[in-house]
Structure 1
């Protein structure tokens, strides 16, 4: 049965975290994951036996074996689960709300756990209105076209032109191959309108990275 969270207090205070560089989860976004490391298989087992919540967070440096964690992540609920014949788990996380790491708990499990503060992001639990709001879809799509052309990529343009603003902005933010710091900037944008502005700017900067003479624009 699907779990509905209405306010920040409905969410658990302690959650397991999956540090993964360059991977972004946003509220109501869908993130497929292929789990094969024993510690994270253990984490999925424990999550499935509980509230099914996992925090996605990017490493921010430090030792590869125990990297520092970015202070802001996003919790997702396991909404799809399958086990392969070779023991891997194929799961889908559906984003619930962002959180700030208040503290990391002493290791008592093979995976890491944090005390998560959801209060500042309680608005994530409510889907924004389906109207355009402040989204400048025309400018965003122009930036997207230039970005994709530069990288030799393509998308379903009919879907891009008709998707609700949140679905469009968040799916592009999650799917496009931005660098980890850029992904973090998209995650930490205050709201959907700010995220759309950051997304548009990142695509414009990337597409304009080389001028006609081939010199890098600083």
Structure 2
């Protein structure tokens, strides 16, 4: 990929995080995003996932997202799609393109993101702390999980999987996406799990 000036078609969706080497299933039903998927399949299968900052129309966007490749696609008879995105690398939004397409397009840079290779393992103490806080959070919320399966996940899959499914607010999710290393993301997750376990996700917002 070039270092700058990369044109990306984007899907702004709050709370939907994509990380390098992770997977994100999506059900595509809005006409503009059905057009986005159709266009991506005809080109390079890439879609940029990015979170909106607000609820305006169109919403303002955060500066950092993650580009994914459509790894699986199911085209339904009524024009909808079920797709699975495989994360490639994070990107930084440079500018928005005045495009004639129904979906938004941006110029993006991939500089500054070392996402091409898997990260080194977490320190055993941090891994244990993350598993412990995850269990406490799940028990506090009444979630039932297969903890044996969780314990078998590699560090990257564990950290990013929790970041994807945890019911944190958009600001917290964005902070997790933007952490430079997996260790820093795991440490931040421990803090968020502790913080959000003390309140309801509907009325507890990280400022």
**1:44 matched residue in structure 2:** 37
CA distance in 1, matches of 2:165, 2:38: 27
Match 1:61 to one of 32, 36, 54: 54
Supply the RMSD in Å over aligned alpha carbons: 1.8
Deviation of the 1:171 alpha carbon: 0.7
Question: Which residues of 2 match residues 1-218 of structure 1 at below 5 A?
Answer: 8-9=1-2, 13-61=6-54, 63=56, 65-121=57-113, 123-129=114-120, 131-133=121-123, 136-209=126-199
Structure with higher Rg: it is 1
Deviation of the 1:156 alpha carbon: 1.6
If the length of structure 2 is used for normalisation, what is the TM-score? Answer: 0.91
CA distance in 2, matches of 1:70, 1:21: 10
Deviation of the 1:11 alpha carbon: 9.0
CA distance in 2, matches of 1:37, 1:196: 34
Q: Which runs of 5+ in 1 are unaligned?
A: 1-7, 211-218
Deviation of the 1:126 alpha carbon: 1.2
If the length of structure 1 is used for normalisation, what is the TM-score? Answer: 0.86
CA distance in 1, matches of 2:4, 2:39: 16
User: What count of residue pairs does the alignment treat as equivalent?
Assistant: 200
Instruction: Specify whether residues 77 and 34 from structure 1 end up closer, same or farther in structure 2 by C-alpha distance, changes over 3 A only.
Output: same
CA distance in 2, matches of 1:77, 1:134: 32
CA distance in 1, matches of 2:176, 2:125: 15
Contact 1:135 1:196 in 2 (8 A): no
Instruction: Specify whether residues 45 and 115 from structure 1 end up closer, same or farther in structure 2 by C-alpha distance, changes over 3 A only.
Output: same
CA distance in 2, matches of 1:173, 1:96: 17
Deviation of the 1:145 alpha carbon: 1.1
Deviation of the 1:83 alpha carbon: 1.1
Residues 73-126 of structure 1: per-residue CA shift (max 9 Å, x gap): 1111000001123221000001111111000001321100000100111x1121
Instruction: Specify whether residues 36 and 12 from structure 1 end up closer, same or farther in structure 2 by C-alpha distance, changes over 3 A only.
Output: farther
